[in-house]
């Protein structure tokens, strides 16, 4: 096992691991790519709109919460598939719950954008 890193070295390596995770998620998951495209469109819209700073922050937070939730769901799915690719009731439940979390985050984002825009 490699020695534990501390200080700036740990931060640099942790950043590298995070970038690797983003690349892996983007390469393997269509939902991640779709959400990135949506964010590329919606983030500039949030800055273009004539709204209060707090409202803009809520719009941006809602997008990032969806993205974070999708990343966590992807991690659960990849881990579950590593454990077993066979149909298993508990693995199915774990994947369904992760999917439900993404669904709830999407509803929250849509509601936030809907209330602020309309």
Task: For residue 32, say whether it is annotated as part of any ligand binding site.
Answer: yes
Task: For residue 77, say whether it is annotated as part of any ligand binding site.
Answer: yes
Q: Hey, which residues are catalytic here?
A: 70
Per-residue b/e over 47-73, b at no fewer than 16 CB within 10 Å?
Answer: eeeeeeeebeebbbebbebbbebbbeb
Distance CA 97, CA 109 (A): 18
Task: For residue 99, say whether it is annotated as part of any ligand binding site.
Answer: yes
Q: Closest Cα partner for 46 from 34, 60, 35?
A: 60
Task: For residue 10, say whether it is annotated as part of any ligand binding site.
Answer: yes
Task: For residue 95, say whether it is annotated as part of any ligand binding site.
Answer: yes
Task: For residue 34, say whether it is annotated as part of any ligand binding site.
Answer: yes
Task: For residue 89, say whether it is annotated as part of any ligand binding site.
Answer: no
Report in angstroms the alpha-carbon separations of 41 from 60, 95, 109: 12, 29, 14
Binding-site residues from annotation for substrate: 10, 31-35, 56, 70, 99
Binding-site residues from annotation for ATP: 10, 17, 29, 77, 95-96
Binding-site residues from annotation for a divalent metal cation: 29, 77
């Amino acid at each position: 096992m490699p020695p534990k890193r501390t200080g700036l070295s740990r931060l640099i390596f942790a950043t590298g691991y995070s970038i690797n995770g983003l690349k892996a998620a983007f390469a393997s998951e269509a939902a991640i790519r779709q959400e990135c495209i949506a964010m590329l469109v919606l983030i500039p819209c949030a800055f273009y709109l004539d709204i209060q700073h707090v409202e803009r922050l809520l719009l941006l937070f809602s997008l990032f919460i969806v993205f974070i939730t999708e990343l966590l769901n992807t991690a659960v799915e990849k881990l579950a598939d590593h454990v077993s690719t066979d149909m298993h009731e508990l693995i199915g439940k774990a994947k369904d719950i992760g999917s439900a979390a993404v669904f709830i985050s999407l509803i929250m984002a849509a509601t936030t954008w809907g209330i602020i825009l309309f």
